[in-house]
Amino acid sequence: MAKGIKKGDIVEIELDNLAHGGESVGHLKGLAIFVPGGIPGERVRVRITESKKSYARGELLKVLRPVEERIDPACPVFAACGGCQLQQMDYPLQLSHKRRMVEDLLERLGGLKGVKVNPVIGADYPWGYRNKAQFPLTVDEEGKIVAGFYRKGTHEVVVHNDCSIQHPLINRILKETIVVLNQYPLTVYDEKEHTGLLRHLVIRAGICTNQAILTIVTSRNRFPHREEIAQQLLDRVPELTGILQNINPGKTNVILGKRTELIAGEDYYLDYVGSIRYAISPESFFQVNTLQTEKLYSTILEYAGLTGKELVVDAYCGIGSIALYIAGRAGRVFGIEEVAGAIEDAKRNAELNNITNCTFQVGKVEEKLPELLAQGIRPDLVIFDPPRKGLAESVIDTVLTTRPDRLIYVSCNSATLARDLALLQESYRICRVQPVDMFPQTYHVETMVLLEKIWEGEELR
């Protein structure tokens, strides 16, 4: 029990900040209390649902003094579903708080004081933007197959088939798929008993092309009637270019298994970022907000300051999306990615766009980057777009040893970004910090940082 505050207590507090994770935080008796659904600046009444030694968490009972920017959430399951956290705020306020979150994490976790964070680049329309969705399946009281999203912190499915932040084509494919699946005697996977067939539906859509692919995740290889089901769906949804089956037999929370089979159509769809065309397969990494990705990549290109002669390394290149976008302004681009399938996509995408100055290699960045340097390749610019865990220590050591002139670090996790920048500042000056809102209605934000080498004898300002 924390400082006399126990589970079940009802208290009134002032909310003063937005925490990483999207909960608002207030204080009582020196104790931080986290409140989902609150907004900094409000006075609220909450019921304590969790009390620990260093913090507590509360359920919002009533907003006693709302801020002017509070709005009614657009989604009917917002309070239950764990997908969005900020629908109670109008969009300009969301952007303002995301900027403050980045500033706070850079200073608090990275010790980076006085770093200017630019205003967040927002979306023109902050709804219907997601090009990828993963829907767990379950059955309702009547035994019918239904889909939705996991309630926050659980594997309980909140049934919903019209998500406000998914592209409308994804919602339509979901509805049609559920109708078709219910025409057949199919079972749904039970995590506790490890029985049943159907686990998830994974839908990806091309925002600029209106193409889509559907992957049905099953617990075993045998999938009765799969060809009939696929043909029905292709007939009902002409925008579908392909339907696949992914087999995941493991007792695991990981959605996709290691094997994917094409049932009908193609195993990819097409989409654009600017003028660059991408073929995207079911397991490829591609930013979930295609229109905001163009803003992100155009800003990367601006910060890169390329003249057409530079040698660039795109670390964690995925399907080559950044590498190909900047290739027209660079002399040569090397892409590194440990997922072999993504590298195959990158090579295919280079051919699609007749781009010949990009070389893609399969391997871990911590291994391949030193190999490139050992071959005498000296990049003028290294672009990092790592997973949420950030850069490995060995990668940072390689950068600090070889000291390329410029770095661009793109991060979807401001906490690990702050950690890595604190290490890189030994040899690099932080020149620009630019958040881009790739994930409206959620607390997530993409942040891009330009770093320039500190030359010998130069004073760090």
- The verdict on whether 84 is a catalytic residue reads no
- From the candidates 84, 317, 358, 412, give the one annotated as an active-site residue: 412
Other CB atoms within a 10 A radius of the CB of residue 29 amount to: 11
Tens of pLDDT, residues 15-49: 999 988 899 999 998 899 999 999 999 999 999 99
Question: Which tens digit of pLDDT belongs to each residue from 329-354?
Answer: 999 999 999 989 899 999 999 999 99
Q: Tell me if 342 sits within 8 A of 286, measured CB to CB.
A: no
Q: Where does residue 42 rank: exposed (0-12), middle (13-18), buried (19+ CB within 10 A)?
A: buried
Residue 395 has pLDDT above 60, yes or no: yes
Rounded to whole angstroms, the Cα distance separating 393 from 447 reads 20
The C-alpha atoms of residue 18 and residue 50 are separated, in whole angstroms, by 19
pLDDT at position 277 is 96
pLDDT, one tens digit per residue, over 94-126 is: 999 999 999 999 999 999 998 999 999 999 999
Model's pTM, two decimal places? 0.92
pLDDT at 148 over 50: yes
For 154-187, give one letter per residue: b (16+ CB within 10 A) or e.
eeebbebeebbbbbebbbbbbebbbebbeeeebe
Instruction: Work out the pLDDT band at 458, boundaries 50, 70, 90.
Output: low
**pLDDT confidence tier of residue 155, bands split at 50, 70 and 90:** confident
Mean pLDDT of the chain: 94
- Residues 188-214 have pLDDT tens digits of 999 889 999 999 999 999 999 999 999
Phi, psi of 403 (to 5 degrees): 50, 65
Render pLDDT for 371-389 as a digit per residue (tens, 0 to 9): 998 898 899 999 999 999 9
Write the CB contacts of 379 (distance below 8 Å, at least 6 apart in sequence). 310, 311, 312, 313, 334, 372, 404
For residue 459, pLDDT beyond 80: no
Inter-residue contact 332 to 375 (CB < 8 Å):
no
Handedness of CA 302, 305, 306, 310 (dihedral sign): negative
Measure the CA–CA gap between 231 and 250, rounded to whole angstroms: 28
Spatial separation of the C-alpha atoms in residues 3 and 266, rounded to whole Å? 60
Tell how strand 43-51 and strand 132-139 pair up.
unpaired
Domains and CATH numbers, the chain: 10-70 (2.40.50.140), 103-123+289-453 (3.40.50.150), 132-273 (2.40.50.1070)
Confidence of residue 179 (pLDDT cuts 50, 70, 90): very high
